[in-house]
Amino acid sequence: MLILLIATANGFKHGLDSESSFMAKNTFALYPGKTTKPYNGLQKGRQIVFSEEDIDFFEKEIGKMVKVNVFTPIYSILGANIVYEDENTIVNMFCARPGYEKIRNLTVVEGRLLNKTDEIKHNKVMLIPKRTAEYLFEDESPIGKHVKYNDILFEVVGVFTRKGNLARERVVIPFSTSQVLFNPEKTVTDITFTVDGITTMQQSEEFAKELRELTAKRMNFDPSDEEALGIINSVRTAARTANILSYINLFLWIIGISTLISGIVGVGNIMIVTVKERTKEFGIRKAMGATPASIVGNTILESLIITIGFGYIGLFLGILTTEIVAKLLVLIPPDKRFVKTFMDPTIDLPVAVNALILLIIVGAIAGFIPAHKASHIKTIDAIMSK
Amino acid sequence: MSIIELKNIHKTYNVGAPLHVLKGINLTINEGEFVSVMGASGSGKSTLLNILGMLDNYDEGEYLLDGELIKDLSETKSAKLRNQKIGFVFQFYNLLNFKNAMENVALPLYYRGIRRKQRNAIALEYLDKMGIKDMAEHLPNEMSGGQKQRVAIARALIAKPKIILADEPTGALDSQTSKEVMQLLREVNRTEGVTMIIVTHDPNVAAQTDRLIKIQDGIIGDN
């Protein structure tokens, strides 16, 4: 029982972890929006647009505020149709500077990452995710092959995997290339960067406030206008997720421990009854020369056999069930799952072993107390009982 | 050579009001004797037997068993002494129902730490002596009263005790079987030299022993 519960909790935990881990945990992003308040004589409903100069300005200014690891403007094309020979697939195209892989936890499994040369030379190169590669190229290696988007050929230079599940796969091309090819207005979708030294929720919220003030001043909008600028604060998101998880965990532990306690009471009761039934037998054994210690020892042994035996069966069934569920879940594609934030509901072996050890200790105690009592009944009373 | 020596033994039970059961018992039993203890119910004869068998303790006086003072012994120590010196035969046999005759007989040897194979072999030997070797694999509830009592006697003998304490050994048996059991006890007494103490209220049984000890109101009457 306990095992199933903890496994369920772990399932949500793994699910939430993977959901949130598509983004590095120290990421901030600025998404320009539309103003909803007039400011400095400007009308409301104005679209905020980051220009190239703005991007340079923010890179410099934010660098003064905190230690920035990776900084990139991003231009994203949602629902891009990628073609290879007669296969095609719809993806989201993210155009970013090198280092983007650190923000989105991408790991290259074949080929290479995007580099500075790609960025400077506006190279028409592309990173594609493993699943897209498998779909478009099947068994072939995609490296060096060309895929087409909008009648423009891109060379595939790398294949990556990443943590987490997203509804639609993402491909990556250099930011500068996108500005040249698709974006004459030189606008960006957002600015994303990772920072060092901001770890607590409080720090992250203060930093987000400073970012808002900085942006408001530069872009000329009311700092209290929430709609004009969206800020993604993954430190806060991670902290919140951890919070929810700790509550789920706590809740399940309480239920689990209650179950365990009822198990303890159950075993204890069984042992009290059996010992009581066997008082006469103990008396006879004592008349034949059994010491109290040998009687207590035997009873504890029996109690242990019961608890270990059934504990082991329970453990086995529990783990079997959770492993089967975990295997079945993998077979269902992520976008068709009933609950998306449920994944790999298995229990860690140490936890299971600890539960079993606890059960064994409990079994020993449950056997010891009544047996100890019975062994100290006067021999003659024990023989005469019943 | 006395094997049991009781000096001024007192025993009081506290069941609500104090009940003074043994009021100064003085008794000597020699090695190899075949004695019976008689008395009306409530006279204290069972209490005396329990004290002799170290199944119960006494309040006052001295009990010397084979020259050793038995007083305020720990459970562990008295269990050991019982195992070595005393064999019990009870009125209602007190066999373990889930063990067969052979295993029941072998039980005292288990507490001596003798290995299963060896103790079962010895147990078979004793069942043979009792004339019920063919019942070795039977459980107690598959046996008659006489057979059960024979198993109990075999069990009492197997540890080669100095004394056998028998509490109404024929109390639950018919007269023919009673006779056989008494003959068996007599034979054991003669061949093995075991001191035999039989508690009974049956004059016929008492008559078959060498010495009669009468208990009345917690003291030994005239023998």
pLDDT digits (tens, 9 = 90+) for A146-195: 999 988 999 999 999 887 666 688 899 999 898 888 887 777 888 898 88
Rounded Cα–Cα distance for residues B127 and B14 (Å)? 41
Distance from CA of A380 to the nearest CA of B (A): 5
| Residue A138 CB burial class (10 angstroms; 0-12, 13-18, ≥19) | exposed
In this complex, the residue of B82, B84, B112 whose CB is nearest that of residue A287 is B82
| Residues of chain B contacting residue A293, judged by C-beta atoms under 8 Å apart | 76
What integer pLDDT is reported at residue A344 of this predicted model?
A: 67
Q: Hey, are the CB atoms on A290 and B79 less than 8 Å from each other? A: yes
Task: Write down the ipTM of this complex.
Answer: 0.86
Q: Are A321 and B114 in contact (CB under 8 A)?
A: no
Give the A:B interface size as CB pairs under 8 Å.
58
Min Cα–Cα distance to chain A from B118, Å: 18
Q: Which of B92, B112, B190, B223 is nearest to A283 (CA)?
A: B92
Which of B56, B75, B90 lies at the smallest CB-CB distance from A291? B75
- Which tokens sit at A128? 């594609």
Is B79–A380 a contact, with Cβ atoms under 8 angstroms apart?
no
Strand order of the β-sheet with B211-216 is: B86-89, B163-167, B195-200, B34-38, B211-216, B219-220
Among A315, A379, A24, A66, smallest CA distance to B55 is for: A379
Could you tell me if B160 lies within 8 Å of chain A, comparing CB atoms? no
Beta bridge partners of A90: A81
Q: Between chains, do B96 and A281 touch, taking CB under 8 Å as contact?
A: yes
Q: Which residue of B has its CA nearest to A386?
A: B94
Would you call B76 and A380 a contact, using CB atoms and an 8 Å cutoff? no
- Split chain B (223 residues) into runs of 10 and give each run's mean pLDDT: 88 86 89 89 85 88 89 86 88 88 89 89 87 87 88 88 88 84 87 89 86 87 66
Residues of B whose CB is below 8 A from A378: 55-56
Question: Which residue, among A288, A373, A383, would best test binding to B if mutated, counting the most B CBs under 10 Å from its CB?
Answer: A288
Residue B132 has what pLDDT? 85
**What's CA A8's distance to the chain center, in Å?**
14
Residue type for position B62: E
* CB-based contacts of B190, cutoff 8 Å, min separation 6: none
**Measured between beta carbons, which residues in chain B are less than 8 angstroms from residue A295?**
none
What is the greatest pairwise CA distance in chain A?
A: 106
3-state secondary structure of B141: helix
Q: Are the beta carbons of B56 and A378 separated by less than 8 Å?
A: yes
Asked if A284 and B94 come within 8 Å (Cβ–Cβ), the reply is: yes
User: For residue A128, what pLDDT is reported?
Assistant: 92
Instruction: List all residues of chain B from 201 to 220 with a beta carbon under 8 Å from chain A.
Output: none
- B94 chain-A contacts, CB cut-off 8 A: 280, 283-284, 287, 383
Q: What does the alpha-carbon distance between residue A288 and residue A282 come to, in Å, rounded to a whole number?
A: 10
Low-confidence residues in chain A, pLDDT < 50: none
Residue B84 contacts A where some CB pair is shorter than 8 Å = yes
Which residue among B76, B90, B108 places its CB closest to the CB of A293? B76
Does residue B114 belong to the interface with chain A, where contact is any CB pair within 8 Å?
no
Q: How far is CA A361 from CA A6, A257, A310, A351, B164, in A?
A: 21, 15, 14, 15, 42
Question: Which pLDDT value is given to residue A147?
Answer: 92
CA distance A374 to chain B (A): 13
Residues of A in contact with B45 (CB under 8 A): none
